[in-house]
Structure 1
């Protein structure tokens, strides 16, 4: 199998992010409790956005905290995908810099779309061996995942033209810092968590973005006390393969 770095460099997939925040801008409590503070309507919206993508990207800490399986349980959304000639559910991509994950976690025990684990060569050998037959393993040199290169690999090897990042804040911060996010879907929930240590979209105040990012509000819907927002981020590149989906 070729090393990820040896695959020809295509254009990058279009990448959106989908997050929910409280009225004071928090995505979780200081204890990183699971994200259960939004309505069923928001959870349906999450699945609808996920169903539009070729892949869903999530950091290992978020998958562990929320016990995510990254599947598409809504039968109507799976049916719509197959009617469009797509697989029933998008690829599932787990990102971890250290590679110190539990191969027996729920994500690996529940069936679903093909699973890809992207990490560095820091991943323990025992974990690598345990993932054989459970997931495709993409290992990169360095101590942190080269996110741009990972997206290139997903496009070249797996045909990913559009993807969504669903967490967590450190991954979103890294993607924003590298100017890789095109669209931000944001749910504003009527809750207040408070606390300096409760994470925001990009983590805690100790980890600010290198530079601020500008965004344009494209749509807003208010339902059941929540606001569903969609922002287009100001980009500095045009190397994208697919037209933006509505």
Structure 2
């Protein structure tokens, strides 16, 4: 089965951070951008976040718009997306809200390593389906499994390690990059990606396919180019 079309969705500060170090949750987006992300979720079949985001934000991962939920049902789809998380260590609690709210698409999926699966044991059996991946191509194997489940489009909402993994593996088909007018400036705050060996290195340019101003937030949409290296004078 074909792999899902993968859309990375992220909101960043002007200096490239996705959060600060203050306990209270930081909202980088505004209402119009949140609505745009909700529309993207409605167009997708599954939503993926990392276990670190589950622990930090404890999101429900649902569609905010009742109209969009109703439209999905009218089209023969579940009202909400299939929820997916990734944990290499197995450090994830069965009480997380993503396991208990708006699971119309079925049990949430947890992808992990052999070590992570051993730590999880049977603690999540009642609320999630656990898949241990032994393939060295972790992210490719994950997408293959989602493809077999009929997932045509996957929206990935972070965090840092997850975005880095998909981009380093060259598996992101599109990037929705919302820039908020904030400066974080905290050394230990999480950034969009970690240092990594991205395909094409620092000379590879992505293709800008859209730029939209949503009040004080700018949303940029990029896709990979087949050939994107630039030379001096070009």
Deviation at 1:37, TM superposition (A): 2.5
* Distance in 2, Cα, partners of 1:235 & 1:30: 38
- Alignment partner, residue 68 of structure 2: 77
Query: Deviation per CA, 1:14-44, whole angstroms, max 9, x where unpaired?
Result: 1010000111121112468634122121211
2:138 paired with 1:146: yes
- Alignment partner, residue 29 of structure 1: 20
2:111 paired with 1:118: yes
* Distance in 1, Cα, partners of 2:90 & 2:168: 22
* Distance in 2, Cα, partners of 1:201 & 1:166: 11
Structure 2 residue corresponding to 1:214, chosen from 186, 205, 214: 205
Structure-2-length-normalised TM-score: 0.86
* Distance in 1, Cα, partners of 2:224 & 2:26: 24
Q: After TM superposition, what 4+ stretches of structure 1 lie above 6 angstroms from structure 2? A: none
- Alignment partner, residue 153 of structure 2: 162
CA distance change for structure 1 residues 32 and 165 in 2, over 3 Å: closer, same or farther? farther
Note the aligned Cα RMSD (angstroms).
Answer: 2.1
Secondary structure of the corresponding residue to residue 147 of structure 1:
helix
Stretches of structure 1 that go unaligned for 5 or more consecutive residues are 1-9, 237-246
CA distance change for structure 1 residues 154 and 197 in 2, over 3 Å: closer, same or farther? same
- Alignment partner, residue 133 of structure 1: 126
Secondary structure of the corresponding residue to residue 202 of structure 1:
coil
CA distance change for structure 1 residues 219 and 133 in 2, over 3 Å: closer, same or farther? same
Is the CA contact 1:31–1:198 (under 8 Å) kept in the aligned structure 2? no
* Distance in 2, Cα, partners of 1:125 & 1:74: 38
Query: Deviation per CA, 1:96-135, whole angstroms, max 9, x where unpaired?
Result: 1111211122222324232111111212546331211311
- Alignment partner, residue 86 of structure 1: 77
Structure-1-length-normalised TM-score: 0.82
Structure 2 residue corresponding to 1:45, chosen from 16, 36, 48: 36
Is the CA contact 2:47–2:61 (under 8 Å) kept in the aligned structure 1? yes
Stretches of structure 2 that go unaligned for 5 or more consecutive residues are 228-234
Secondary structure of the corresponding residue to residue 110 of structure 1:
coil
Number of residue equivalences: 222
Query: Deviation per CA, 1:127-176, whole angstroms, max 9, x where unpaired?
Result: 3312113111111227x8711011001111x1011111000111111111
CA distance change for structure 1 residues 162 and 235 in 2, over 3 Å: closer, same or farther? farther
